[in-house]
Amino acid sequence: MYEAERSRLVKGLKSHGVVTDERVLEAMERVPRHEFLPSELRDQAYVDSPLPIGMGQTISAPHMVGIMLQALELRPGHNVLEIGAGSGYHAALMGEMVRPGGKVYTVERLESLGRKAAEAIERLSYDDVVEVVIADGSMGLPEHAPYDRITVAAAAPEVPRPLEEQLADGGRMLVPVGGQGYQDLTLVTRQGDRLERTGLGGVVFVPLIGQHGYRD
């Protein structure tokens, strides 16, 4: 279902130059976004727009997911941490890109969303490569660190310190940093003890709520 719509969306992202990395485009062709949405919103799955997924949270627009995947430079075998599983869609895409041999841990603080994300991940057979964990992801997930790649799908007041500590040597991390209006999508790279930050531009995400995020 929806293959033609999905293909049209992905071709649009490519022809507009939003996403150029073929591995990202291929993953977006394969993962069915509609399977991660509430049934009444499935018809809108292949419109390039964020959508509500319940509990006041949103699934990011496809172009945003594509831009983040491209900036992450995911490779097979990578150990990846995502904060904010939401629907599980972004995690499934990363699962596609780190196979074979890689692993994606995606942390969600809201149990009902995390449970639904895990169901979709299992239904689509990504559970060999993606694991959903219910916890405060602003603390990271020390038991599986260090991570080659970390991506945060919620806006933080600052780059959470535990995430910096859990980033592997040569690793890349994306975090939207800023207030609860616009944020700067910040790329953090690590070379040994040296951390470098680059701003990639303005974005709008829901807040990261937790010990190293905003207060509830």
Choosing from 13, 72, 74, 110, the residue that interacts with ligand SAH (CB under 6 A) is: 110
User: Is the CB of residue 101 less than 8 Å from the CB of residue 76?
Assistant: yes
Min. distance of Cβ 41 from ligand SAH in angstroms?
A: 12
Min. distance of Cβ 146 from ligand SAH in angstroms?
A: 19
**What does DSSP say about strands 183-191 and 167-177: parallel, antiparallel, or unpaired?**
antiparallel
Residue 7: helix, strand or coil by DSSP? helix
User: Is the CB of residue 121 less than 8 Å from the CB of residue 91?
Assistant: yes
Number of Cβ within a 10 Å radius of residue 196: 9
Dihedral class, residue 88 (left if φ above 0, else alpha if ψ from -120 to 50, else beta): left
Min. distance of Cβ 196 from ligand SAH in angstroms?
A: 24
Could you tell me which stretch among 16-24, 134-142, 164-172, 183-191 binds ligand SAH (CB under 6 A)? 134-142
User: Is the CB of residue 58 less than 8 Å from the CB of residue 206?
Assistant: yes
User: Is the CB of residue 49 less than 8 Å from the CB of residue 61?
Assistant: yes
Active site residue 49: no
Q: For residue 190, state whether it binds ligand SAH (rule: CB under 6 A).
A: no
Could you tell me which stretch among 86-94, 142-150, 182-190, 194-202 binds ligand SAH (CB under 6 A)? 86-94
As a whole number of angstroms, the distance between CA 64 and CA 80 comes to 18
Q: For residue 86, state whether it binds ligand SAH (rule: CB under 6 A).
A: yes
Q: For residue 208, state whether it binds ligand SAH (rule: CB under 6 A).
A: yes
Does the N-terminal peptide bond of residue 100 adopt cis geometry, omega within 30 degrees of 0? Answer: yes
Q: For residue 185, state whether it binds ligand SAH (rule: CB under 6 A).
A: no
Residue carrying structure tokens 């003890």: 193
CA of 105: how far to CAs of 18, 84, 146, 198, in Å?
Answer: 27, 10, 12, 24
Based on CB atoms, which residue is closest to ligand SAH, 20 or 112?
112
Choosing from 35, 108, 131, 148, the residue that interacts with ligand SAH (CB under 6 A) is: 108
Choosing from 6, 90, 149, 190, the residue that interacts with ligand SAH (CB under 6 A) is: 90
Q: Which of 15, 49, 60, 138 is catalytic?
A: 60
Based on CB atoms, which residue is closest to ligand SAH, 41 or 191?
41
Based on CB atoms, which residue is closest to ligand SAH, 25 or 130?
130
Binding site for ligand SAH (CB under 6 A): 57-60, 83-84, 86-87, 89-90, 107-110, 113, 136-138, 153-154, 206, 208-210, 213
